Structure 1
Amino acid sequence: MTTTHQGSCHCGRVKFEVDGEIDSAVACNCSMCQRRGSLLWFAPRSSLRLLTPESDLASYTFNKHVIQHRFCATCGIHPYGEGKAPNGDATAAINIRCLDGIDLAAVPVHTYDGRAMP
């Protein structure tokens, strides 16, 4: 059975649902992730459903411009990003800090050396 998680930004203007089981998260040290402090869980983009208008989101890209870092245009919180997995599948990087009812201490966190990426 797949769990549906509810999430939002701080002000609630951006709301979404995502299906899947959170077995771990990634803490990346790239210049973006280190500053925003997100914990990322990767899911197929098709499992993410935006419940509010996409126009309430803004996007930011940097470096190779392959990841759309999505954030609320009102409060600035980053609930997820969009990109492609190494196999080419559309992927969502969900900031689990934006999901309701998640016990962050119970989620194993793996570090990723994003600074080492060219």
Structure 2
Amino acid sequence: MKLTGSCHCGATKFEVSEAPASVTRCTCSICSKLGVLWAYYRPKDFRLLERPGSETTYRWRSKTIAFKFCPACGCSTYGETFDWSAGEAGQPMISVNARLFDDVDLDAVPVEIIDGKTLW
């Protein structure tokens, strides 16, 4: 079942192929300051329905993750990253800010914590 989401102002709208089985809370400095919970999808399972005229991208330190933001309302919407489960960058992944999903009870979704504070 497809799931939709959007930034606060609605300039960025997206859909994913299914609800997340879990979400990730990363403790690195940027994720902690953003307060996001990430849901990960393969690029084929993520689709932008509406994109603002000029998306804002932030790349931190290693430049391997592209954090996307709505330039109008400032919401952190999604990121372009890789599957890091093998310890090195693998297949491309899309990290979606799960707090932006419509009609999802995040309290019912298990949260995995990544110690990004010491890893990156």
In 2, are the aligned partners of 1:7 and 1:99 still within 8 Å (CA)?
yes
Among 54, 60, 72, the alignment partner of 1:62 is 60
The whole-number CA distance in structure 1 between the counterparts of 2:47 and 2:24 is 21
CA deviations 1:96-118 (Å, max 9, x no partner) are 10000010110011111001124
Q: Kindly tell me the number of residue pairs found equivalent between the two proteins.
A: 116
Among 50, 55, 63, the alignment partner of 1:52 is 50
Among 89, 92, 103, the alignment partner of 2:91 is 89
1:21 Cα deviation (Å)?
A: 3.7
When normalised by structure 1's length, the TM-score is 0.91
1:88 Cα deviation (Å)?
A: 2.4
Identity over the aligned pairs, expressed in percent? 35
Q: 5+ unaligned residues in a row in structure 1: which ranges? A: none
Question: Runs ≥4 in structure 1, deviation > 4 angstroms?
Answer: none
1:20 Cα deviation (Å)?
A: 2.5
Which letter maps to 1:88?
G
Matched with 1:106 is 108
Among 6, 18, 21, the alignment partner of 1:20 is 18
The whole-number CA distance in structure 1 between the counterparts of 2:56 and 2:30 is 15
Which letter maps to 2:4?
Q
In 1, are the aligned partners of 2:79 and 2:95 still within 8 Å (CA)?
yes
Q: What RMSD over aligned residues (CA atoms) do the two structures have, in Å? A: 1.4
